[in-house]
Every structure is written in C-alpha cells, then in structure tokens.
Amino acid sequence: MKRALVFVVGFVAAIPVCAQTNLSFLTSRAALLAFAIDQADTASFELGAPSRVGTQAVWKVKFSVNHTSADILRFYTTNRFGINVLNPNDEVSVAGKVFNGDGDQILSQSYSSQPTLTKTGYSLPKVFLNLGLEKYVAIKFDKPVSSAEVFCVDPFTKKTYNEKWLPVSGCKVYFPSASCGTGFLDVKFNDGTESYYDLCNGGIEIPGFFIGQEVASASVDNFLSFTNPMFVRDQIFSQNGVGTNRTYELVIENSHGDGRNVKFLISSTEGCYPLGLWVRPKFGSWSHFPWLAKDYTVILFPEGVWYVIPDWDRRQFHEPDL
C-alpha cells in the first residue's frame, strides 16, 4: 500500500468590512481595481509648493454608496484648483487620491509640474490624471490580525517560488496589488485562528492539504548503539589515512552491580588500530583508556549509558581538515 506524505498548505480570506468566505477581488489586478472603485468613499486633490501661503491647498469630496467611477472622475474634471505661492519659480506638486471609508488610500497619482507665465498670470499645464492602484491595498477583516503571508506560485510549474510577509494593523492586511492572483494568502488572527485563500482559484477559502509522511528507518550518521554487548566490532573506512571517526553508545543493563566486560575490535579499513578509547558516562567526564593488544582492548562498564570514541594516531587516521 502506498504511503502518503504530510504537509499543510494554507491561505486566508477577508473583505472590506467583515471577513468573507472568498477573496475574489484579489484574483487579479483588474478585479482589485473594481473593488477599489466600489470601496471609494472620498477623493482629494492636493497642490503643494515650497513657498505656499494661505490654507486652501487640499480639496475633498465624499461619494454616495451607489457611486460609479464617473462620480469620482467628475470631481477632478469639474473643479478648478489653485495654490498661492510667493515664488512662482517653484515646482508645484500635484496629487489626486481616492480613499475608502476607513481613510485608507486605494487609488492615486502624483507628480510635479512647473508653472508658466501666461497673459492671464501663472498657471500649470493641464492635468491628465490617471489614477492607479496603490502598491498596498487595505483588506479589512472582522477581527484583529496578528500576521499575514502571501505565497507566490509559478503559473507554469505550479510550484511556490516566493513568500512575503505582509504589513498588518488592527483588523487590516495591506495586500500588494502586484501579487493579485499569484498564489495563496494565509492570515493568522489574534484569537489563534487561521484562514487560507486560493487566489488562483476564485479567491475561495480552502482548508489546506494534509500530506502524510512515514519514516521507514532512522539513524544517526557515524553513530552506533549497542545494548549489553559482549563485543563491539567495527571497521571504519579510511583512504590515505583520512576518514570519519565513529561514536559508540553502550547501554549496560541488569549487570547486578558487576558491570560488563566489553571487547572492542576496532580498526580502519587500511589496517590501523586506535591508540585507545575515550569513554564518558551519560552524566560525567571523558576518561582515556589505552589500547591493550594489537587488535583489541577490553573495558569493564558499570550499568548505565556510555559513550565511546576511538583515539587515533593522526599519522594513521584523522578526519578531513576543514
């Protein structure tokens, strides 16, 4: 029977005033643009200059709930704006901005323009205002957000290639408009709950996918464990006297206080033997035991857990130099 892998994928959802079951307006920049127009509550036009005097440099308008894009644009095209300055040689900054009901900026365009002297006085070139989406658009949920993350998916390989942590504040996530429709959104809330959204599939909320993984076997590299051994027989690979040393774990049980004699038969594959063994109890310090005979040594171990490391003549065996 085939085994499954285990993985959890997640992504979240929310909307302007309350959390929703989908984020369809984040499936593309075009959909987000429609969302921005729909959410527009006020608009402003601002003029600025280093030598500005007086107070009137910002004009605002509030829209009805049933507004259209024409209502937004009409504010800019049917009003005449101006600014009082002391130095007409200064450049004038120009900005058109659109805000949602919470005061978050959702559309804008800004630039600078140089006044010119005409027969009727100083004026600025006519404005061709082209409002664009903000780099980050506020998405509001019905409860405080602790963090949010967008996962970007390659449209061809379908694999996640990037992840970005998003700015959050209160109940809001500030979503990058350039990431619309790129993958998944994961939003975590202060109450410990979490929501996931598929921005490539209609912005629907998804539960995530569990991929199971079972481990056939487990080991620690260059580490061997023995329980109540009589012998520890091992040959450690080496080439030109270079190899990776081994660590042995000995678990001595039920010795009735007499301990257990363990015979070590350790060598390298090139026929070299250790100078001795470094030995340490689980809770204790290292002690050195010299190698007794040419091809073996014997050590008495009391009950407990012990660690043993061969001690080599560096000319015969040593680990690779870093």
Q: Is residue 205 part of a domain?
A: no
**pLDDT averaged over every residue in the chain:** 90
Q: Is residue 102 part of a domain?
A: yes
Residue 126's pLDDT band, with cuts at 50, 70 and 90, is: confident
Q: How do residues 165-222 score in pLDDT, each as one tens digit?
A: 999 999 999 999 999 999 999 999 999 999 999 999 999 999 988 999 999 999 999 9
Q: Is residue 44 part of a domain?
A: yes
- Give the residue from 173, 185, 40 showing the smallest Cα distance to 101: 40
Say whether pLDDT at 156 is over 90: yes
Residue ending a domain, among 80, 115, 133, is 133
pLDDT at position 21: 60
Q: Is residue 72 part of a domain?
A: yes
The range of the structural domain enclosing residue 62 comes to 32-133
In angstroms, rounded to a whole number, what is the distance separating the alpha carbons of residues 16 and 35? 9
Alpha helices in the chain (DSSP H): 29-39, 69-77
Three-state DSSP class for 72? helix
- Give the residue from 214, 173, 144, 226 showing the smallest Cα distance to 25: 173
Residue 110's pLDDT band, with cuts at 50, 70 and 90, is: very high
Residue ending a domain, among 133, 161, 183, is 133
Residue ending a domain, among 101, 133, 165, is 133
Say whether pLDDT at 280 is over 80: yes
Q: Is residue 98 part of a domain?
A: yes
Neighbours of 293 (CB within 10 A): 9
What 3 state SS string does 211-229 have? Answer: CCCCCCCCCCCCEEEEECC
Burial group, residue 7, by CB count within 10 angstroms (0-12, 13-18, 19+): exposed
Split into its structural domains, the chain has a count of 2
Strand bridging mode 168-169 / 276-281: unpaired
Q: Is residue 84 part of a domain?
A: yes
Three-state DSSP class for 177? helix
Give the DSSP H/E element, type plus range, for residue 198.
strand 194-198
Strand bridging mode 183-189 / 194-198: antiparallel
298-321 in b/e form (b: 16+ CB < 10 A) is: ebebebebbbbbbebeeeebeeee
Q: Is residue 183 part of a domain?
A: no
- Give the residue from 112, 116, 104, 111 showing the smallest Cα distance to 130: 111
Q: How many residues does the chain have?
A: 322
Q: Is residue 125 part of a domain?
A: yes
Residue 9's pLDDT band, with cuts at 50, 70 and 90, is: very low
In angstroms, rounded to a whole number, what is the distance separating the alpha carbons of residues 44 and 129? 12
Neighbours of 287 (CB within 10 A): 11
Three-state DSSP class for 77? helix
In angstroms, rounded to a whole number, what is the distance separating the alpha carbons of residues 36 and 3? 47
Better-scored residue on pLDDT, 180 or 19: 180
Hey, what are 59's tokens? 């004009």
pLDDT at position 57: 86
